[in-house]
Amino acid sequence: MKIGKILELIITEHQRILAKRADVHLSEKSLRKALNKAGYEYRNSGGKGWYFVGDGDEETVQEQLIYDFATAGKTGA
């Protein structure tokens, strides 16, 4: 799923519920970390929500898949 679509859905759905959707396939923690890696930060004061603070063009980042920024889970040895 594209980052732009996820940011649209986060406005109406809590990220915990969004992460459980079948078309996202990420845990809530992985979703937050992927958004951080993509250049977004969550602000809890003032206007709450996800804001782009990264380098480059935000529109280009929003067209990328969230999975490009998600890391694989822990692997057992």
Q: What is the pLDDT along the chain (77 residues), one digit of tens a residue?
A: 899 999 999 988 888 888 888 788 888 899 999 999 999 999 998 888 999 999 999 999 999 999 999 986 554 44
Tokens of 34: 């992927």
Q: Which of 56, 61, 55, 71 is nearest to 3 (CA)?
A: 61
The pTM assigned to this predicted structure is 0.84
> What are the residues facing 20 on neighbouring strands?
none
CA distance 27 to 25: 7
Q: Coil, strand or helix: which one is 15?
A: helix
